[in-house]
């Protein structure tokens, strides 16, 4: 019964959040193929296995991405509490990706990572999101880490008190 109540409240939060966001302007985007994701990572030496689900994707500026993340994270995503093996990192990364597509029409990838502490010890496996902006820069976004976002300059991204080693990418 508690899980049904949690899901109902979650659905209401999405509905209310979407209603609040409907009045936001559409951001200027460009349409490109999945090569834009790969090229943004390749330029900093990151080569990942990937799966793509669509043919074309919409990209926008990093300034617009910051506004999109703030709106979605603050109004919807942070209200979905992390719950081990029920509604955890993979579900939250998928939720963020789906909301970006449904509300703003932009593409947000999902990236599978190994998470290490700053001493180099493997802590756990994790799903986060990948942003690529119009200027072909890649950023790692982790909604489970307070919505932190960090530009990717190598296959090892330090955010907060952990290091993310990027493993594979899912686009679409």
Neighbours of 84 (CB within 10 A): 7
Q: Could you give the CA distance from residue 45 to residue 101 in angstroms, rounded to a whole number?
A: 27
pLDDT at site 10: 62
Number of folded domains in the chain?
A: 1
From the list 3, 17, 121, the residue with the least C-alpha distance to 77 is 17
134 three-state secondary structure: coil
102 three-state secondary structure: helix
77-90 mean pLDDT:
77
| Residue at 23 is within a domain | no
| Residue at 2 is within a domain | no
| Residue at 142 is within a domain | yes
| Residue at 10 is within a domain | no
94-118 mean pLDDT:
92
From the list 131, 122, 125, 128, the residue with the least C-alpha distance to 159 is 128
The CATH number of the domain where 149 resides is what?
3.30.460.70
Segment among 16-20, 24-28, 152-156, 157-161 with least mean pLDDT = 16-20
Token pair for 166: 């990027």
What does pTM read for this prediction? 0.84
DSSP string, 24-40: SPPPP-EEEETHHHHHH
Which residues, 6 or more positions from 155, have their beta carbon under 8 angstroms from its beta carbon? 45, 46, 165, 166
| Residue at 41 is within a domain | yes
Is the predicted pLDDT of residue 86 greater than 80, yes or no? no
| Residue at 13 is within a domain | no
Domain assignment of residue 112, given as a range: 29-171
pLDDT at site 89: 87
Give the chain's mean pLDDT.
86
| Residue at 12 is within a domain | no
Residue 50: φ, ψ to 5°: -150, 160
């Amino acid at each position: 019964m508690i899980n049904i109540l949690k899901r109902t409240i979650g659905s209401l939060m999405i509905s209310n959040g979407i209603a609040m966001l409907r009045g936001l302007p559409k951001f200027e985007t460009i349409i490109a193929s999945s090569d834009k994701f790969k090229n943004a990572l390749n330029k900093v030496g990151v080569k990942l296995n990937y799966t793509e689900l669509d043919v074309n994707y919409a990209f926008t500026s990093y300034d617009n991405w910051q506004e999109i993340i703030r709106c979605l994270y603050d109004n919807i995503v942070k209200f979905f509490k992390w719950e081990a093996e029920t509604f955890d990192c993979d579900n939250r990364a998928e939720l963020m990706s789906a909301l970006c597509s449904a509300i703003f029409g932009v593409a947000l990838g999902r990236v599978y990572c190994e998470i290490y502490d700053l001493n180099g010890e493997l802590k756990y496996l994790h799903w986060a999101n990948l942003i690529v902006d119009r200027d072909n820069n890649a950023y790692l976004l982790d909604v489970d880490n307070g919505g932190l976002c960090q530009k990717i300059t190598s296959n090892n991204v330090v955010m907060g008190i952990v290091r993310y080693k990027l493993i594979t990418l899912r686009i679409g």
